[in-house]
Structure 1
Amino acid sequence: MIPMWRLTLRNTLARRARLALTLIAVVLGVTFVTGSLILTDTSQRLLDEQFRTSTAGVDLTVRDAAAFDSAMGVEVERDPLPATLVDRIRAVPGVAAARPVVRGQGLLSADGKTIVPPGASLLASWEPAPVGAFTLRAGDPPAADDELVVDADTARRHHIELGDTVTVRAEQTESLRVVGLAGFGDGPGLPNSTVGLVTLPTAQHLLKLGGDVSEVAVVAADGTDVQRLRDRVEAAIGSGYAVSAGQDIAASSAAAAKTQVDHLQLMLFALAAAALLVGALLIANTFSIVITQRTRELAVLRAAGATGAQVLWSVLGEALLVGFTASVAGIGLGVATAAGLRDLAGAFGITLPDGGLVVAPRTMIVAFAVGVGVTVFSAIGPARRAASVAPVEAMRRSAAASAPGGRVRTITGWGMTGIGASSLVAVLAGSGSLALVGAAALAAIAGLALLGPALTPRLARLIGRPLDATGIPGRLARESAARTPRRTAATALALALGLALISFMTVLATSIKDSIQRSYTEVITADYVIESARNEMLGGLSHHVHHHVGELPEVAVASRLRYGHWKDGAHTNALTAVDPVTLPRVTSLRMAAGDLNAISGGGVVLAERAARERHLALGDSLPMTFSRTGTQRLPVVGLLRDRDAQALSTDYIISLDTYSRNYRENMDASVFVKVADGVSDAAAKKAITAKLADHPTAQLRDQAAAVAGRTMSIDQILGLVSVLLMLTILIALMGITNTLALSIIERTREIGLLRAVGMTRGQLRWMIRGEAVLIAVLAIVVGVGLGIAFAAGTVSALGSTAELALVVPAGRLVLVVAVATLAGLLAGMLPARRAAKLDVLTAIATS
């Protein structure tokens, strides 16, 4: 007898066409996982290198002390240091050099056009090596007050050459002459940023620091222990300052910058898991069909002496070969995909550092574990069924139909579905959480997977009734899907999962956007809003904008908002700072208790929900930890209606005066503008726009544009997720094609007989395509239904933290349904063509 491993290899190669689509599905899943790992590893390594480069020659950095370094991925701004501190540090034994450093924001303008990068517009004092991270690529360092060095990347992109005049806009605006071009480490500049380097006095002048500096970079003398030097410096300058090792600064800055990468990694892994789950259903279905078609062959093996265990391992061996081959191909494609994912994320507003890709050994291990593991695990069920059948029973078994499922399976399926449905009802009734929604979704999906074979015959005949209008081919398509319930259910469920995810994301995103729009337009009564075109998290709008616009005779009132972060134990929360005098004139805020004006005395207004969660009432105090001043206990002076707080973007409202005492940041987030009586909108808009000419990043928006700016990130995430979810749809459509293609093999005699009694090739093609469309429609009904149901549950669960109402975007969902139906039709084209090409006499003679 041929050794089983040789037989396994021979069977795999002999049936490579049948396993081809399964192989492709695994390849796509592994590609997604590999690309995600490579992308996130690369981004994290590049960020580490970037911040290590910025502190490479610095042993210690002295900055103003802060209670925490960063929050929500944003580093806190610290107070400047007195220039006298530099001499005190230089006098410490073991200090080889102590260089004052000034750093801030400064926009560059060349040829009359302001350069607004996606990232930072850095203005800094020039520091030579080893302190400075920038190195000259051309020209000279700045030596005079009117000289400027620009990063080489910005110079290339905007055609800036040595000798050109560039305008720098910071707290002061000056025109400087470009004397040099600089690079950052091995690169031509900082990613997605502009860099302007000037002399120390020029930087202090442009940023209005007087003689103060941002930080002091300390270089230890040769042979000096850095830790001991740090202790000596701390003792020499006293409390109120933070003395940190350069590598610690780099690690802290990189960790803050990696927050966005971490969120992207989580999203990519979730989508990769969805793709692999859909692929696993396809794998299990394919092996189940192939095993059914090979029952006679397996019976011969059993009769010849092969044990059940040998048959089991033979089938699993085929799965192992498929998984291994797919993993190798998936890793190769994953490397190419990583760059594509980076570009795709950039197209949807998620900017990642650019550089060489990192393929870590862990990535290879995970890719093989995923590819081989998912394939082998998915084949266990079919392999066990093949091994458990007695030879004689297998000889007599028909491969033409599959049973609808056992009683235990059906009962278990109803139980799981019932648990999922009841949990969802509990959430919709207001007594559930997001965790319960997730558990309900898992239970419902598991229940439907178990119930599929039992429900499919009835659903297929019901949903497929419209096919009867096409005549006999349509009725045969309906009956064909109904009489093989296991494979039809598995194929439809794979597509349903992808459609459920897309429907879920679409409904949830639309509901959130609608809630934001309704709360904003209901509360904000301003005629215009001025915001940064870059939509920075903390604002990015110069504080001069408020003063300049407020002085216009066309403007009745200009009221500004600021955002900040504060620590709440181990968590980080956001707050909004407002002017309690002018804000009521541009909003229609409704207080549930207290008075907004009371925040002028240093208090805080809470959203009703936040007060309920914290069990706080008027007169109580809320401990809030600020990076600049540490923990402060602010008295609760008012409670604001939740929807009104949502319009102001946070649950915690303080005054601008309280903000200035606790924050160093001096940037506004929004300026609400009310037009003066008797002034037309056109005249007001013209006057405001002219005033904003000196503030290139300031953008005048009406309410619709302001809402669009607030929901832009939702659109970006929805767009990115929808594009990536198309991978799961593609894999599921392969399942339809694969299922029908394999069914053609076992229905060869049936097809021959249909042709012999008069069915035309066209009718046969339509019968196969009709079956594909029926599977797709079955998936649409289940998938879209699940997506809407669990989006409703999620909206209900989120309603405990924000006022949300379910909004079902009928137009978008109709588009999803139309695309899925068309895709189902296309998925049946290849099997239909193959069936139509079968020779009638040969097909009839097939046993």
Structure 2
Amino acid sequence: MWRLTLRNAVARPARLALTLLAVALGITFVTGTLILTDTSGRLLDEQFRTAAADADLTVRRATAFDDAMGVEVERDPLPAGTAERVRAVPGVADAQPSARGQGLLTAGGRAIVPTGPSLLLSWTSAPFNAFTLRAGRAPAVDDEVVVDAATARAHGIRLGDTVTVQARTTGTLRVVGLAGFGTGDGVPGGTAALVTLPAAQRMLALGTGVSEIAVAVADGADVRSVRQRLAGELGSQYEIAGSRDVAAASAAAARGQIGYLRVMLLALAGAALLVGGFLIANTFSVVISQRTRELAVLRAAGATGRQVLGSVLGEAVLVGVAASAAGVGLGVAAAAGLRGLAGRAGIPMPGGGLAVLPRTIAVAAVIGVLVTVVAALAPARRAARVAPVEAMRDTPAAGLSGRTRAVTGLLVAAALAVVVTGAGSLALLAAAALVTVAGLTVLGPALAPVLARLIGRPLDLAGVAGRLARQATARAPRRTAATALALALGIALISFMAVVGTSAKDTIRQSYGETITADYVVESSRNEMLGGLPPAVHHHVAGLPEVAVASRLRYGHWKDGTMTAALTAVDPATLPRVTALHLVTGSLAALDTGGIVLAEHVARERALRVGDALPMTFARTGAQRLPIVGLLRDADAQALSTDYVIGLTTYAEHYTEDVDASVFVRVADGVDKAAARRAIAAALAGTPTAQIRDQAEAVAGRTRGIDQILGLTTALLLFTVVVALLGITNTLALSIVERTREIGLLRAVGMTRTQLRWMIGAEAVLVAALAVVIGVVLGIAFGTGTVTALSRTTPLTVVVPAGRLALIVAVATLAGLAAGLLPARRAARLDVLDAIGRT
């Protein structure tokens, strides 16, 4: 039986290749995702670990937590003299202070704005320096700088060039060296400028303070003991951590910025595997149907049902193993492509060689074999159960009973009702969506003929070829349903993302337009959540005679129990003049007393009201209880980007960061808006990252992230559509083998090669159209339910993007036609007499 299994697997190379490709594409998603995230994690760990390899301990200001949402918190500087106190502790061999902060590089008159941080750091001597010289020398005087090698290479910076570094103050510096960070050529996704310690302190406005101190323990001294002595000497306001722990925390924060990418890619990989599973099951089902007589002969010759089952599953195992091997190979290429896509979507990815771990190969093998075997199990069981005499009589497979169809139909209807109405939690919606897909899989063979005849009516206009295509599609309900549903799932996911993304963008646009009444908004070109505008921007703009009022916003992170949340800091005196906020109760002016305003839904969910206190944990000041002084309408809170609003005075008490996120500007009465814009732009000339935007531009900046994620997921979901289109090609090719005699007879009675090609192509288009109808309807239903469920906590309006969905319909239909070209060509080339002679 094993020899027979091997012979069957290789006897039909075209069928084998198509099935292998379907599984391999699904495995490619999984392995590409694992390789990409494993590589990023390894490179980040190596870079930060190498950077801290020669320091035993790091002294910093203590904070309640180290990072939030993938961003390391900013700490207060260490006072002058701290390094001397550290060196005086027994067991300390050396201690080197350093300064670090934000510093924007400008070269050749153009600002270098990376996707990640723009760092300004002090150069420290060996062995404490995280950077290693690749060319030139270290900075010796205050007007010299070392630039990371990656930035220098990308922007043509050479030794001897002059660059500008803009921090709290701006300096014009001469490049004297190029350096790498750890094992890489630069900071992942960012830039680095390294200057002398006095220059860094001056440009970062640290005075005589420093950011941290790297400590080397004397030979023979116990690191733990030295750490305890340092803690006793410096007190609880200081944090003494192992340098490798600090490096690991920095790497973890960097990995946190790409963590959601892994979740998204694995979800898409699951979708691709599901679609591939439909194709595999359909392929094996058709193949078993074509081999019914062959299997019957085997049964008559003495083969047991178990042996037949084992033969079919053995073929599935061979396909799974081969596809897994191909998927791992393709996954390496996919990881490189995904890295490029992520970079274009604004997700910084470290450079370096790709890491293929044994675990990745094992996961690919297990998933590939498991998916293939599970998909082939039902056809294999049907083959094993058919008695030899029944098989030789060519008895059609039994369909579902009326009771089973009725029960399944009710389940699908109930699940769809839950999905469309958005009832319950997102977990319940996900479960209902799965029930819907499973139910449609069961009902597919019953629904496919009805839908095919209905949707295929326009094909009658194409004459005999169109009518025959419609009849052939309806005559094979099981095959048609499985092929269409595979493509429908891919289209449903794309339609779902389109509905959710468009709804989110439209809601942001609507709430922002209703709440923000400012004429212009000054923001960072990088759209940083935590800011990016130096305080001087607000002062310059507010001092212009063309400006009536300039109100600034800041953002910060805080711990809500074990979760991280964001808040908005505002100036309650000027904000009402540039916004139309609606407080349900309380007063915005009361923020000056140190309170907090909550979004209405937060107060409702937590049973809070004005006068209660909200427990909050800040990185700098630890656990605090802020009095609730007002409740804000949810839509207005959404326009301010968070559900928690504090005053700028309160912000200064709990945060070290001194950057603004936005400055809302109202033009003075009688001043032309275009003239005011030119004046504001002139005032911002010294701040390259600051951009002036009108309402439409500001909304576009806030929705750019949604567009990037929507574009990334749509591009990746197209892989699932490609897998499903392979299913159309595969099943049509197999059906031609099954219908060889029928095709020969059609040619014998006068059908031309062109008419035959049109008939096969029309079948492909009809299957694609069937998939489009099901997919778009499911996508709209799933998207509507998700937006409705989310709107209970976040104001969202369901928007169906008709234009984008129409484009999806057109592309999928044309792709279906393309999928039928190869089978149509093969059918047209069949020899008429040979085809008629087939049995």
Q: 1:546 aligns with which of 538, 543, 548?
A: 538
Match of 2:416 in 1: 421
Q: Deviations over 1:695-727 (max 9, x none)?
A: 111011111110011001100000000000011
Q: Deviation of residue 193 (structure 1)?
A: 2.0
Match of 2:600 in 1: 608
Distance in 1, matches of 2:397 and 2:330, equals 37
Q: Deviation of residue 540 (structure 1)?
A: 1.1
Q: 1:761 aligns with which of 734, 753, 762?
A: 753
Counterparts of 1:695-706 in structure 2 under 5 Å? 695-706=687-698
Q: Which residue identity is paired with 1:213?
A: V
Q: Deviation of residue 188 (structure 1)?
A: 2.6
Q: 2:246 aligns with which of 236, 244, 249?
A: 249
Distance verdict in 2 for CA 1:825–1:404, change over 3 Å: farther
Q: Which residue identity is paired with 2:400?
A: G
Instruction: Give 3-state SS (helix, strand or coil) of 1:80's partner.
Output: coil
Q: 1:721 aligns with which of 699, 713, 718?
A: 713
Match of 1:521 in 2: 513
Counterparts of 1:419-568 in structure 2 under 5 Å? 419-424=414-419, 427-428=421-422, 431-568=423-560
Normalization by structure 1: what TM-score? 0.98
Gaps of 5+ in 2: none
Q: Which residue identity is paired with 1:671?
A: V
Instruction: Give 3-state SS (helix, strand or coil) of 1:694's partner.
Output: coil
Q: 1:632 aligns with which of 603, 619, 624?
A: 624
Instruction: Give 3-state SS (helix, strand or coil) of 2:156's partner.
Output: coil
Distance verdict in 2 for CA 1:46–1:470, change over 3 Å: same
Q: Which residue identity is paired with 2:232?
A: A
Counterparts of 1:165-564 in structure 2 under 5 Å? 165-397=162-394, 404-407=399-402, 409-424=404-419, 427-428=421-422, 431-564=423-556
Distance verdict in 2 for CA 1:458–1:154, change over 3 Å: closer
Contact 1:528–1:673, Cα closer than 8 Å, also in 2: yes
Q: Bigger shift: 681-690 or 575-584?
A: 681-690
Q: 2:104 aligns with which of 97, 102, 107?
A: 107
Q: Which residue identity is paired with 1:86?
A: A
Instruction: Give 3-state SS (helix, strand or coil) of 2:141's partner.
Output: coil
Q: Deviation of residue 409 (structure 1)?
A: 4.5
Q: 1:39 aligns with which of 31, 36, 39?
A: 36
Distance in 2, matches of 1:110 and 1:844, equals 76
Distance in 1, matches of 2:360 and 2:468, equals 48
Distance in 2, matches of 1:765 and 1:180, equals 67
Q: Deviation of residue 826 (structure 1)?
A: 1.1
Q: Which residue identity is paired with 1:789?
A: A
Q: Deviation of residue 78 (structure 1)?
A: 0.4
Is 1:55 aligned to 2:47, yes or no? no
Distance in 1, matches of 2:252 and 2:189, equals 18
Q: Which residue identity is paired with 2:52?
A: T
Q: Which residue identity is paired with 1:571?
A: M
Distance verdict in 2 for CA 1:6–1:197, change over 3 Å: same
Q: Deviation of residue 351 (structure 1)?
A: 1.8
Match of 1:580 in 2: 572
Q: Which residue identity is paired with 2:194?
A: L
Q: Which residue identity is paired with 2:620?
A: R
Instruction: Give 3-state SS (helix, strand or coil) of 2:370's partner.
Output: helix
Q: 1:82 aligns with which of 42, 54, 79?
A: 79
Q: Which residue identity is paired with 2:63?
A: A
Distance in 1, matches of 2:152 and 2:482, equals 57
Distance in 2, matches of 1:704 and 1:517, equals 8
Q: Which residue identity is paired with 2:210?
A: V
Distance in 1, matches of 2:108 and 2:738, equals 72
Match of 1:137 in 2: 134
Distance in 1, matches of 2:108 and 2:437, equals 60
Distance in 1, matches of 2:73 and 2:96, equals 22
Question: Across the two proteins, how many residue pairs are aligned to each other?
Answer: 839
Q: Bigger shift: 209-218 or 461-470?
A: 461-470
Contact 2:106–2:165, Cα closer than 8 Å, also in 1: yes
Q: Which residue identity is paired with 2:577?
A: R
Distance in 2, matches of 1:745 and 1:402, equals 19
Distance in 1, matches of 2:566 and 2:767, equals 48
Contact 1:600–1:655, Cα closer than 8 Å, also in 2: yes
Contact 2:49–2:182, Cα closer than 8 Å, also in 1: no
Instruction: Give 3-state SS (helix, strand or coil) of 2:685's partner.
Output: helix
Is 1:785 aligned to 2:777, yes or no? yes
Match of 1:73 in 2: 70
Is 1:770 aligned to 2:762, yes or no? yes
Q: Deviation of residue 419 (structure 1)?
A: 3.3
Distance in 2, matches of 1:199 and 1:359, equals 41
Distance in 2, matches of 1:260 and 1:136, equals 28
Contact 1:405–1:486, Cα closer than 8 Å, also in 2: no
Q: Deviation of residue 241 (structure 1)?
A: 0.8
Instruction: Give 3-state SS (helix, strand or coil) of 2:209's partner.
Output: coil
Q: Deviation of residue 110 (structure 1)?
A: 2.4
Distance in 2, matches of 1:323 and 1:151, equals 46
Q: Which residue identity is paired with 2:813?
A: T
Q: 2:736 aligns with which of 729, 744, 751?
A: 744
Instruction: Give 3-state SS (helix, strand or coil) of 2:684's partner.
Output: helix
Q: Deviations over 1:161-196 (max 9, x none)?
A: 333322221111122222222222333322332211
Distance in 2, matches of 1:473 and 1:113, equals 63
Q: Which residue identity is paired with 1:844?
A: I
Q: Deviation of residue 562 (structure 1)?
A: 0.3
Gaps of 5+ in 1: none
Distance in 1, matches of 2:700 and 2:24, equals 38
Distance in 2, matches of 1:162 and 1:21, equals 55
Q: Deviations over 1:239-263 (max 9, x none)?
A: 2111100111111111111112221
Contact 2:520–2:666, Cα closer than 8 Å, also in 1: yes
Contact 2:46–2:183, Cα closer than 8 Å, also in 1: no
Distance in 1, matches of 2:354 and 2:11, equals 38
Q: Deviation of residue 806 (structure 1)?
A: 0.7
Q: Deviations over 1:225-248 (max 9, x none)?
A: 111111010001112111100111
Q: Bigger shift: 8-17 or 304-313?
A: 8-17
Instruction: Give 3-state SS (helix, strand or coil) of 2:351's partner.
Output: coil
Distance in 2, matches of 1:186 and 1:252, equals 18
Instruction: Give 3-state SS (helix, strand or coil) of 2:573's partner.
Output: coil
Distance in 1, matches of 2:77 and 2:345, equals 36
Q: Which residue identity is paired with 1:405?
A: L
Q: Deviation of residue 307 (structure 1)?
A: 0.7
Distance in 2, matches of 1:590 and 1:458, equals 54
Instruction: Give 3-state SS (helix, strand or coil) of 2:128's partner.
Output: coil
Q: Bigger shift: 603-612 or 457-466?
A: 457-466
Q: CA RMSD in A?
A: 1.3
Contact 2:115–2:347, Cα closer than 8 Å, also in 1: no
Contact 1:403–1:484, Cα closer than 8 Å, also in 2: no
Match of 1:732 in 2: 724
Q: Deviation of residue 141 (structure 1)?
A: 1.5
Contact 2:10–2:16, Cα closer than 8 Å, also in 1: no
Q: Which residue identity is paired with 2:137?
A: D
Is 1:16 aligned to 2:13, yes or no? yes
Percent of aligned positions that are identical: 68
Instruction: Give 3-state SS (helix, strand or coil) of 1:800's partner.
Output: coil
